[in-house]
Chain A
Amino acid sequence: KAGVTQTPRYLIKTRGQQVTLSCSPISGHRSVSWYQQTPGQGLQFLFEYFSETQRNKGNFPGRFSGRQFSNSRSEMNVSTLELGDSALYLCASTRGAALQETQYFGPGTRLLVL
């Protein structure tokens, strides 16, 4: 069974631009969560989507947003990029709610902001 896929795998942007990242969950999984990983802060939770609805949100500014489509695929958008947004962005999927179930992570999208 195919795992979680993320596209693109690598991305270079400049300050002020916006970026959209995509995540395709494992077939049959309805929850997608997004995370940011940096050397300075480690892993941090961005948000969780379940059946096209945002269920939970971490402590990130409104420049970070997301959505989920009816096929459970999810996109994450960051507007007005800052240098500090350079990070590995990971998504994870679960069959049901992320709180209780095993999460399966994708390989991540590495974003570099210049």
Chain B
Amino acid sequence: KNQVEQSPQSLIILEGKNCTLQCNYTVSPFSNLRWYKQDTGRGPVSLTIMTFSENTKSNGRYTATLDADTKQSSLHITASQLSDSASYICVVSATGGSYIPTFGRGTSLIVHP
């Protein structure tokens, strides 16, 4: 069964600090992995999308890494800001022509001043 596990479930950090969120998956065959940021009461916003051949992708202060061999991804946030407080969701899609994404439960990040 395809699964996506995210850790930690929640995280509290001080403004200006860095943090790393983890995503492990068992989706096969792998097509791509996405990271989304979802503010409370809003729809998710795409941060990065990576295919099998990509190891790293950045979007401003957000850097995602992918290790397709170990089926792990991480999202690194640099110099956190109060506006980074949100839920971060990892989504993995299988290949084969069909779009059937598998979602992680998300990591809730709180950035304190």
Chain A interface (Cβ < 8 Å from any Cβ of B): 4, 33, 42-45, 48, 55-56, 58, 90, 92, 97-100, 102-108
A35 to chain B, nearest CB (A): 8
B99 touches A105 (CB 8 A): no
Q: A103-B34, A106-B43 are in contact. List 8 more A-B contacts (CB 8 A).
A: A42-B104, A44-B103, A45-B101, A45-B103, A56-B98, A56-B100, A107-B41, A107-B43
A42 touches B99 (CB 8 A): no
Q: Which residues of B contact A99 (CB under 8 A)?
A: 31-32, 93, 95, 97-99
A16 to chain B, nearest CB (A): 28
Q: Which residues of A contact B45 (CB under 8 A)?
A: 105
A102 touches B98 (CB 8 A): no
Nearest residue (CB) in A for B97 is A99
Name the contact of A97 in the complex, choosing from B99, B100, B106 (C-beta under 8 A). B99
Complex CA gap A108/B32 in Å reads 24
Could you jot down 20 A-B contacts, CB within 8 Å? A4-B43, A42-B89, A42-B103, A42-B104, A42-B105, A42-B106, A43-B91, A45-B100, A58-B100, A90-B43, A92-B43, A97-B99, A99-B31, A99-B32, A100-B32, A102-B46, A105-B45, A106-B43, A107-B41, A108-B42
Complex CA gap A104/B42 in Å reads 12
Total residue contacts A-B, CB cutoff 8 A: 50
Nearest residue (CB) in B for A47 is B99
Nearest residue (CB) in A for B106 is A42
B107 to chain A, nearest CB (A): 12
Complex CA gap A98/B105 in Å reads 20
Q: Which residues of B contact A98 (CB under 8 A)?
A: 99
Which one of B42, B89, B99, B103 has the greatest number of beta carbons of chain A within 10 Å?
Answer: B99
Q: Which residues of A contact B42 (CB under 8 A)?
A: 107-108
